[in-house]
Structure 1
Amino acid sequence: MTLSLRTALILAILAGLLLPASIAGYLRLESQLGEARAQMARDHGRIADILMLGMQEPLWNLAPESGRPLLDSVMSDERVVRVVISDNTLGTFLSANRPERRQGQLYALNRVVTKQGAQIGKVTVEFDDGRAIALIRSEQRQTIASVLVQLAFSLGLILFLIHSRILRPLDALTKQAKRLANQQLDQPFIWHRDDELGQLGHGLEATRQSLKAMFDTLEQKNLQLEADLISRRHIESALRASQGRFQRLVESTRVIPWDANPEEWRFVYVGPQAEQLLGYPQSVWYHENFLSTYLHPNDRHLAYQLFTEVRGDAPTEFECRLLAKDQRTVWVLLIAEHRHGADGHHLQGFLIDISARKEAEIELEKYRNHLEEGIELSTRALAAANHELETFAQSVSHDLRSPLRTIEGYIEVLLEDYSDTLDERARNYVVRMRGTMRHMGVLVDDLLTLSRLSRSEIRRQPVDLAAVAYEIVEELRALQPDRQVEIAFPDCLMASADPKLIRIVLYNLLDNAWKFTSHVPEPVISLEVNEANGQQVYQVSDNGVGFDMAQVIRLFLPFQRLHPPGEYEGNGIGLAIAQAIVQRHGGRIWAKGAPDEGTTFYFTLPEGRDVPGT
């Protein structure tokens, strides 16, 4: 069923007005009924409670005349139909009944009257809801009447507005649209409204003006198009001349353009420079077997790659060798790109002579090989020199130790056989000589140890640094059992290192801390690990004499001492040995301290960073 716009609007308005009003009225009526019944129930209960309390004394004293005023007061309420007050012994004590008041549903409510904990009677009150319901029904009829009046007034006003503001303007817009459809563009569409329909009317007028201007423009463009066709013929002629000049320009360079049919594996065009490249006439390049014939035997697989595998949009480059007519080998850079055209796909690109560059690369490769041979020879010579140095160190060690032992033996003979004949000064000189010889022996041993570290092989494995540190401290305590030093080591501190070499590092660092805390009242030595920049940093700290950071550059140099020799023992080479071992593990070691504030040594043992021996 097709409805007119007027009918559809009226139905929509009626539905829109009646439906909300009906729903609202129904909900309001139900709300009023619920409130009235709730109020009646409260009043009913309140009256029954008043009678129950007010009849206690009359029932107890059996004096009905004293309860009559309260009963008459209750019966003054138009909703009370019947009241009965009964005594448990005598029966009906007081009663009142107004049956003419009954208009609706009757509700009864009983209350028991008690006195001093004993039940002495009962109160019954009957309530009627007819008056309350009648008031609500009357209010409902008034509401419906007012809604109907309002609906009629609203509907009339809406219909008037629809007709004057929508239907009549739509009729005018329809007529204007028909004129536009019939291309009647000369008569303007005058509109005097600024609402939405007015904007639509103005839009139709703007459309009329645009269409009229477009038709006028089309007529002018038709005339211009005829002139353009004549001009295009001249442009095409000039373009052909320009293409010819461009082709001559490309063919005059050393870059050789080419075009090929990948299905037939042959060139369909090659620039004339190709004749100078190989010495063959240009017609030879167009043979089907040109590449398989004139490509170097080691590069002929590139022909298959060129004609079968070049399919992407990006250019592909090949370096290959071509055989010239005079038996020369010509290196060329072949640039190929796949193209789709109206006649199918084809390959096109450029050939560039790179023979000079390849010859330079070959010479450079020969030079690089020669340089590598020189480096290998130098490496061998360095290894031989290291071997000779190690042999020399061992020889020097043997040659030094032999006379040192001889001298030390003579000194022992002097002290044992001639001690009584020597005066105190002479014996002091001999004892000092013996200490100096022993110190020199220790220096020789330390020098040998330092020289061997650069060639020792690192064999990493998991090592508990805390357990090693505890063992070293026990050794130091055995040498000085009277010293009380507080040790702050963790229970376990795992690291990956060479067990023998890392023990030397810890011994030198802990011995250094043990030695330089000898004059501190409460010495403390600690071992811990922290993380910095993604790697583990181990540290050995003490609260000893410390050092001046201005002298830190001398700390790891052999035989360099930051304190007077007579004040602390040592030969100044232990820290140099520790540094060499840490560096052999691929790590580094450094120290921080301050005078009388202690010293902290830091070192790292990065995984997989061993420095190979030389």
Structure 2
Amino acid sequence: MWLHGLSNGLTAISYFAIPAALLYFVQQRQDLPYRWLFKIFSAFVGVCGLSHVMEIWTLWHPDYWVSGGIKAFNAILALTTATKLIPLIPEALALPSPAQLEIAKANLEDLVRDRTQSLKLSEERWQLALQGTNDGIWDWNFQTGEVFFSDRCKEMLGFDADQFMDSPKVWESLIHPDDLPAVTAAFYEHLEGKALFYTLEHRLQCKDGTYKWVLSRGQALRNEAGTVTRMAGSINDITERKHAEAALNESRRQFRNLVENSPDIIERFDLNLRHLYVSPSLTRITGLSTEVFLGKSCREMGLDETMVNTWEAAVNRLLATGEKQVIEFSTPTLEGVRAFEMVIAPEWDEPQAGESAAKITSLLCISRDITERKQAEEALAASERQLSTLISNLPGYVYRVQNDPNFTPIFISAGVEAVTGYRQEEYLVERSISCGQEIHPDDAEWVWERVQQAVGDRTPYECEYRIRTKTGEERWVWERGRGIYDETGNLQWLEGFVTDISDRKLAEAELLAQKELLQITLDHLPVMISVHSETGNILLVNQTIEQTVGWTQAEHLTRDVLRECYPDPADYDRVTRHIAAADSTWQEFRLRTRDGRLIDTAWTQISLPDGRSIGIGQDITERKQAEAARLQAERLQQELKLLETILDSVLAGYWDCNLREGTNYWSPGLKRMLGYADDEIPNTLDNWEQFILPEDLPKTKACLERHVQSRGVEPYYNEVRYRHKDGSIVWVICTGQAIEWGESGEMLRMVGCHVDITPLKTIEAQLQTSKAHLKEAQRIGNIGSWEFDIQTERITWSDQVFRIFHRDPALGAPKNFAELQQLIHPGDRELHAQAVYTLVDTHQAYDVEFRICRGDGSTGHLQAKGEVVLDATGRLIQLRGIVLDITERKQIEAQNRLLADRLTLALNAGEIGTWDWNMVDEVSWDQRMYEIYGLQQMWESGQTATYQVWRDRLHLDDLAPTEAALQAAIRGEGDYDVEFRIWRTDGQLRWIKANAVVQRDAEGKPFRMTGINYDITIRKQTEAALLRKSAQLEASNQELEAFAYSVSHDLRSPLRAIDGFSRALLEDYGHQFDDEGRDYFNRIRHNVQRMGMLIDDLLSLSRVSRLEMRYATVDLSAIAHELLQELRAAEPERQVECIITPDVIVWADSCLMRVVLSNLLQNAWKFTSHHNTARIEFGILQQPEQTVYFVRDDGAGFDMAYSAMLFGVFQRLHNMTEFPGTGIGLATVQRIIHRHGGQVWAEAAIEQGATIYFTLPIPVLEARLEARSDL
């Protein structure tokens, strides 16, 4: 035994020394390959030494569990070392020998020489290339801080070749101050590895103080550790290119301004006739945005078919001939149909090598609105046609002649032939006749003098004279003309018009003869005749007038005889008006003759076509005297008839009831009121009872009876209804009075009248309806009306005002203005009083808002309007107005202000910018938008952002998809919800999140777009970091999975070996061991099996955390039923009552939920095994916020003081011998429930059972069928 211990001790010391030596060796050789192998081997040897120490310990203390565990660990390390070492043997065998290393060294030296020579040649080629490109070279050594600049660099900036420029500070001082931040940023971006190369265009200061533009490029060189050691590069003078670009950009800007501000439409098309560009003027004319046209042809746009055909035909001609085309067309615009002239020109490319001529690449079209020009041309053509028609149809001819005695013609119209007989050609071509030669010799001299006088006076001339026609006939003509002068006042020619008046002259002669004959005829007529001019003057009278009134015919023509015949101005005015009217009616006038007698006359005045009139009169004095007697006799009858007419017209009818004669006379108006003719209703005593409504007959008879009984003192007055002939109802006021009585006091005669009040009754009913409607409207609109009497200060309120003030109508309105003021909020009384006083003083209506104190103690808001009411003299008598309850509106306004404040806070807190776009180019940004895009200077200077400003900020890779999303939203194909990158003015690249809504008009056309932008750069950076973290976690999970597999495989092999050897020892040598030895072996096997269970549970726990979640509908009730059936089959002798709530369906991972229920139900089955009868329940509890699931048993339970340990790994609350297990099941349950987003907890009491509760975020579905139908 001592020898055994000594040998084991020496072996252990040796094993402990070997790891120490190996670890020291590894520590000293940092570049040693396979360092991990040495460490594993050291651990293996160290554990071997520890196992020998345990051999010594076991001799006196046989604790085989400890020594066995160390042996098992030693076995694991041995297996690991062998597993790692064996694959390295081929690599070790492949290592070169010293001789091979010497050969490799020689080969490497040869390679270095070759590479050196190649490098020298490469450097020479590089120098030649640099000289060819005219670049300057610089090289910055970061370790020494020196900078090398080639002679070309210095020459480029005007410095001498030997001038000292080896300091970075010198180079930095030459950079333009405005470019220094960008140079620094680009430089460090490359040094930090964010950019592959350093490339930038910037300005450098020359020796003479001027600046040159250079293209600076470079690349950093790094050592093995990644540290930058030097950086080399080149600069190239691009000043001329920059100046050319600036000039080109300026030219482009000017051209763009010219195009965009031109009133003409400018379009470019490809050879497929699709729009490449359209100028803004097209949008102004059509109302369509330029984006609508781009990429589409005119035919695809659905433009006018005729216009498109004309345009395409012109394009085909252009493509065939290569020549510019000009077309005209009309098309609808925002201003109606407009006419345009379009010039279509080809755009050529430069001929390529091998090509003889250039090719047409695109088409340029310029369209100009020629509507006004077309209208002017059409108006001019119409005027010319009208003038030509007028000249051709004039009853004469138009001329232009020279101012000479012959009036030599320059132009003469074709109508001259109809007047003179000479053709137009004889005047203008043959020159055989002139205008002066055709004038009658007796008239030629005075015509010439008249024309010359008018020319001298610069006035038109007009004359009538005779001409001789080609046939020798003498004719009268009328001529009117004038001289035409140039700008200096010199006479150019004469222009005028000549017409034939021979017929008129003949008619005048005939008229004179007829006038003489008419005078003779008139003088012998027995009636008075007078002829009057258009102005009413007497032109002619006959002898009968002279004989009747006493004034001669000559005196009628020279004196105002009418005024002497009618000295009364009123009579004179009436006569003159009758003459002027000349309407062929007869009127009677009393005139005074020359000898003073008054006679009655009757006159009619007849209008003649030429504007004159003829008066025909008769002396009716004797007839008037005869009629006077007859009229006196008829006057009384007319007055009676007039009275009847008045009664019928004013009172609608009267009646006369004569009981003595048995008649009841109804006037025609009364019968007409009921729709009957006079002969349709007999005048009998009972006629009125046939028409009165039966309902009104009793009260009518009662009123008549009271009138008779009182002998007419009690008035007979009724409002009754009669039936009209057409069946309608007629309301009448019936009044009457008894006028004759018999000797015994009976009534003999009664007269009365009826007044139709149906319109009044209708208006009254309408008024009542209107009042009801007004009252209802005030109630619905919460509007009340009021009146205020100035004299009495009496206030009148409508019902709605009482409701607005919450005032009991029984209290009445306020008694005066002072009491009304008490109902106004104290803070607004002065405002209300001032409004009323101003209304009284100025009569200007007011409209104010103020607060009121309601009857229930609350405060309301009113909008009050008031106006004055004046009497006929303009005196103020009343105020009236309305009040509107705006309490709810004020509350909404307060809420809107609160919401606006919250929105502002939200936008500020979220750093969200808002924008508004009018779908063309006008964009409205808030201040935050300018800050997000780095355009604060635009905001501060008052400049306005445009669509193009926003577009210029977009990253080129994001421009197309962002604009495509924008256009899709405008077309209604989706929401505008995009993320894109922008370049800020400070050079930063930022990520932007944008959302917007499109506003459309009633026809669905978009007219505005409103949206938000906010910076999500940090979120994007976080997402990128999360992606990297996720990748790292994924790699960690894979390593964990590999480790779990390794543990599962490597640990099970020793366990199987231990279990197998233990079983073999018991089977082969069991008889040699006593009971205690066999117990040890049984314990070994038992613990090996328990360790296997632990490994299985750990692997299960690991898989639970790694498995991908697959959500689906899961029937927990079915799973619970299946698991309990399996438990019953395993132990059929147990008496366990199982209660399962049916149709418990959730949205979860089916496999993981089976693991949860399996662990919970197995625990419930296990912890109730010591009871003769048991109860296990699976169910749910409905709570307001969530559904709680539970598994309950009545088994052993546990002390709640230790509940915190319940869900920990390897935590057990019961003895292994009492209830076997690993302590991992509930930890697995907790991990699964947490992965689903739920919670798990427990309640229990010792020997009273336990309940495990858990929740899931998706609520339980009440019925399986409903859940499946939803899916």
Normalising by structure 2, report the TM-score. 0.22
Q: Which has the higher contact order (CA 8 A, sep 6+)?
A: 1
Larger helix share, 1 or 2:
1
Normalising by structure 1, report the TM-score. 0.42
Larger strand share, 1 or 2:
2
